[in-house]
Amino acid sequence: MNILFLSPNDYPTINIHGLYSDLLRQFISHGDKVFWVSPVPRSKKELETVVEEAGATIVKPIIFNMRKTNVVEKGISMLTIDGIMIRAIKKYFSDVKFDLILYPTPPITFLNVVRFVKKRDNAKTYLQLKDIFPQNAVDIGMLSTTGLKGLIYKYFRNKEKRLYAVSDKIGCMSQANVEYVLKHNLEIDPAKVEVCPNSIEVVDKSINEEQRAAIRNKYGIPLDKKVFVYGGNLGKPQGIPFFVECLKKCASIENIYFLIVGDGTEYRLIENYVKTSQHKNLKLMKRLPKEDYDTLVAACDIGLIFLDHRFTIPNFPSRLLSCMQAKLPVLACTDPNTDVGKVITEGGFGWWCESNNSDTFYDLVESIVAENNTEMGEKGFNYLQEHYHVSRAYKIIKDSLDGLRK
């Protein structure tokens, strides 16, 4: 089977660990051939290239910047990316007949390229729904449903609906996502929407006490405190002002330490707090390479997840999996619409509170410090193996494809 994967990000190789590369290697291990369009932002100043690897061909066209740029360029990139992908497919894959097209959101602007290949090759199409745009932008005030921003919203909402329509199957991250999509898109046949969760090739990233001490010493992290680690994007979806409020509230707790690793549009808010406050049990670091980050997480004690309380869409952050791999229990502080907190608490590997009350967060942190959390971390790792192993996502997609062919 020939699989076309449309990537929103630049991947240097299929052999790195990640949501998409792990899944695609599963297909290759079952004898399928992967053709991957992996766009490179122009900020990297690279030339268009083709990478040949075992079982995979990766085409890397150049696009406008989509991350760490202004709204105008991001918008231009979203509007032009599918045209650039169509050109790349015509140039490099003109003699390949695709059986399956896999594509995630964001962005939602893969519509034209999906429709082009589906019509050309009579291919089946599978949307991996990782983000519900443009509603997520409305929730946090970046767009609105009225005025000039309302026109932009309506444009992208139309794109979203058409992308759902061209998709033979829609795989959602959780049951709450399935229910949201069906509730707000009544024209969609419920039979085409299913749970296909964030999944990875599970690797035990936990470390022993000697390694833990060495890593903490390397990064200047105290050995005698319980370390709460947050890693990843520091942007508007994470509700960073509330995160800062929680840091302030917990500054008086002496036997804990907060480690924040990442970057994003709201990075400066935390950076300003670090520079101006008297909070000593706190460290802010820029984003690290994935392997270094995973090792650093393993040297900590509790993973943190933050989401803006205004969200009406049920986000399900993939950074949860990094904590589970390292056998860290997780404290999630989110809106009430996502079911990530329910998964964590019912799975017995963490805690949840709403992201609108720093007093509740403080109380939870105090109670966590007094507990031995090792068993919870083991439960998280076991839950990861059972529910989020990439072999499960592969089987879900393969079974759906087999069903579509009947």
Q: For the segment 65-94, what is each residue's pLDDT rounded down to a tens digit?
A: 666 667 777 777 777 888 888 999 999 999
- pLDDT of res. 317: 92
What dihedral angle (degrees, nearest 10) is formed by the CA atoms of 361, 363, 365, 368? -130
Q: Could you read off the pLDDT of 273-303 as tens digits, one per residue?
A: 999 988 889 999 998 888 889 899 999 999 9
Phi and psi torsions of 337, nearest 5°: -90, -25
Strand partners, 193: 170
In angstroms, the CA 250 to CA 260 distance is: 14
Alpha carbon separation from 3 to 13, 102, 196, 256, 348 (Å, rounded)? 16, 7, 18, 48, 37
pLDDT of residue 69: 67
Q: What is the pLDDT of residues 240-278, one digit of tens each?
A: 999 999 999 999 898 999 999 999 889 999 999 999 988
Query: Mean per-residue pLDDT for 175-198?
Result: 96
Q: Which domains does the chain have, with CATH numbers?
A: 2-200+389-405 (3.40.50.2000), 209-386 (3.40.50.2000)
**Predicted local confidence at residue 145, as pLDDT:** 92
More confident residue, 382 or 264: 382
Distance CA 283, CA 298 (A): 16
Average pLDDT of every residue of the chain: 92
Run of H or E including 80: helix 71-92
Counting residues of the chain whose pLDDT is more than 70, the rounded percentage is 98
| 85: nearest Cα among 127, 130, 56, 115 | 115
How far is the first Cα of the chain from the last one, in angstroms, to the nearest whole number?
16
User: Residue 346 and residue 335: Cα distance in Å, rounded?
Assistant: 17
**pLDDT higher than 90, residue 338:** yes
pLDDT of 67: 67
